Amino acid sequence: MANVVVVGAQWGDEGKGKIVDWLSERADVVARFQGGHNAGHTLVIDGAVYKLHVLPSGVVRGGKLSVIGNGVVLDPWHLVKEIETVRAQGVDISPETLMIAENTPLILPLHGELDRARESATSVAKIGTTGRGIGPAYEDKVGRRVVRVADLADRATLETRVDRLLAHHNLLRSALGMDAVDRDQLVQDLMDIAPEVLKYAAPVWKVLNEKRKAGKRILFEGAQGALLDVDFGTYPFVTSSNVIAGQAATGTGIGPGGIDFVLGIVKAYTTRVGEGPFPTELLDDDGDRLGTRGHEFGTTTGRKRRCGWFDACLVRQTCATSGVTGIALTKLDVLDGFETLKICVGYELDGVRMDYLPTAADQQARCTPIYEEVPGWSESTEGARSWADLPANAIKYVRRVEELIECPVALLSTSPEREDTILVTDPFQD
Residues 202, 94: contact at Cβ < 8 Å? Answer: no
Residue pair 189/146 in contact by the 8 Å Cβ criterion? no
* DSSP-derived 3-state class of residue 77: helix
Mode of pairing for the β-strands spanning 65-68 and 98-101: parallel
At position 63, the amino acid (one-letter code) is: G
Examine the residue annotation and report whether 41 is marked as an active-site residue of this protein.
yes
Residue 28's alpha-carbon distances to 210, 218, 228, 350, 399, in angstroms, are: 13, 6, 29, 51, 32
Residue 189 and residue 37: Cα distance in Å, rounded? 20
Burial class from Cβ neighbours inside 10 Å (0-12, 13-18, 19+) for residue 85 reads middle
286 is catalytic: no
Query: Angle at the Cα of 77 (from 72 to 82), degrees rounded to 5?
Result: 80
Which is the catalytic residue, given 41, 53, 111, 169?
Answer: 41
Q: State how beta strands 306-308 and 98-101 pair.
A: unpaired
Which residues, including other chains, have CB under 8 Å from residue 214's CB and lie 6 or more apart? none
Report how far Cα 297 is from the mean position of its chain's Cα atoms.
15
Q: How many CA atoms within 13 Å lie on the side-chain side of 210?
A: 5
The C-alpha atoms of residue 225 and residue 135 are separated, in whole angstroms, by 16
Instruction: Using alpha carbons only, give the angle 215, 221, 223 rounded to the nearest 5 degrees.
Output: 170
- The catalytic site residues sit at 13, 41
